[in-house]
Each structure stands twice: as structure tokens, then as C-alpha cells.
Amino acid sequence: MSLKVTLGMLAAGLMLSGCMQATTYEATNTANFKPHDKELLAKSTFVKTPVAEPFRRAIVEYHRKEAPGSIVVDSDNHYLYYVLNDGKAIRYGITVGEEAMAWSGIAKVGAMTEWPAWHPTAGEISRLGVPSYVAPGPDNPMGSRAMYLYSGGKDTLFRIHGTNQPEYIGASISSGCIRMTNEDVIDLYNRVKLGTVVVVLEPKHGDSPFNSQMALQGGGGNTGMGTTTY
């Protein structure tokens, strides 16, 4: 192989590596878990399917302009971002709603619950054949934590919550809610507070023009109000 060709391949490789985003994966820090969390997580009976590498929790470069402490949900790519300082974000893999059940817009965290009960809607009871109430616990579909999204002062009925189906992280199968692994949702829950701004990008529209500043000025959601909660 000639020196010219070798140098050309090296240059191309350097250009390609310069375009690739460095990803730092984060292991779960169970030291931040409460004794009750450790107890219930150990009792779960569902299969703890490992999350595929692209959807593991990671610290990544973040190009949007939301304020640090905001949450951004990218349903198209099945990611939730918790915005940090200095152009970084923690990226979590998520399960999102099927297209007909998706919600998008700007909301705020209006309530937070550890190990929530599940109160299915009438539509879910009919469609899924589930009971009207599922008690909190390790196999509850709401998982270890729930953050309730409010828009315009009203509950959107959409939540960010845990799951007993980690095998679906990276898929679109829920009834509209944003599901995370129980370990990831505990991590996120420990970072957010009531009033945290949540920007849910509109599916198939790329980056939304909305940002957290608009949310603070009263921006709201646009689809899916009053639908299902799981």
C-alpha cells in the first residue's frame, strides 16, 4: 500500500473520529437507594433484562438550550435528557407511547411519588383487562418512582415512571407514559424537584422550537390530554 493511500486513510479515520460523540456510561449507584428500595427491587419477579447499550444511562454532549435542571424527552429516539451545566446532559433510555397515544408539549413536574400505586383508566381496564387498582410493590407497572406531568395547572395524566418490563426500553409500546428502568427513574427522581420543566418533543418533527424559557412564560402541551396513564 502506498504512503499516499495510507495517509489518506489515516486522515479519513481522524475526520470520522472527530464527528463521533464520546459517551461516558454511568453505572447504577445503589448507595443512593433507600433500604426500602433495595428490599423491593430484590423482591421483583420480572425478568431483569439488561438494557441494550445505546439506551444505558450516559453523560453526553447536549446541543439544545434548555436550562440546567430541565428534562427533555425525545420520543423518536427513545431518550430522556436531564440537562446539566456546560453543554452536557444525562441521557436515559426510555419506553414511550405508541404514536396514537403520544403526548407532546411543555409541562412541569406537579407531583412526585415513591413506589406509587397504579389506578388504570377505564380505557386501560377495557383494553388491557387489568384491575381498577394495583397496589404499590416490586411488580407494579408504575415501578419504583413516578413524576406526574402538569400543564396549565392541570394533570395531563402522563407520567415519567418506572417499569416492570425493562425489555421494552428503546421501544414504543406504552399507553403514552414515559417509562424508565426502576434504577434509572430513582436516579432521575433524586435529581428533580416539584416545578421541574419537562419538554416533550413532538414526534417526527425533529427538535422542537420550544424551550424551558417559553415554558416558564406559560407554554403548554398540545395533544393527548385526558388519555391513558400507563
Mean pLDDT by 10 residues, the chain (230 residues): 40 34 76 93 93 95 93 94 96 85 87 93 79 88 96 92 95 87 97 96 69 41 39
Residues 3-216: name the CATH superfamily.
L,D-transpeptidase catalytic domain-like (2.40.440.10)
The CA distance from 104 to 147, in Å, is 16
The CA distance from 68 to 96, in Å, is 23
pLDDT digits (tens, 9 = 90+) for 145-194: 999 999 999 999 899 999 999 999 999 987 778 999 999 999 999 999 99
> All 3 cell numbers of residue 125?
381496564
Domain ranges of the chain: 3-216
Q: Tell me the percentage of the chain whose pLDDT exceeds 70.
A: 79
Q: Which parts of 26-87 are beta strand (E)?
A: 58-61, 71-74, 79-83
Give the per-residue pLDDT at 38.
96
The stretches of 139-211 forming alpha helices (DSSP H) are 182-189
β-pairing verdict for 197-200 and 105-114: antiparallel
> All 3 cell numbers of residue 54?
445505546
What positions carry a catalytic annotation?
161, 177
How far is residue 33 from each of residues 7, 112, 182, 209, measured CA to CA in Å?
Answer: 52, 16, 11, 36
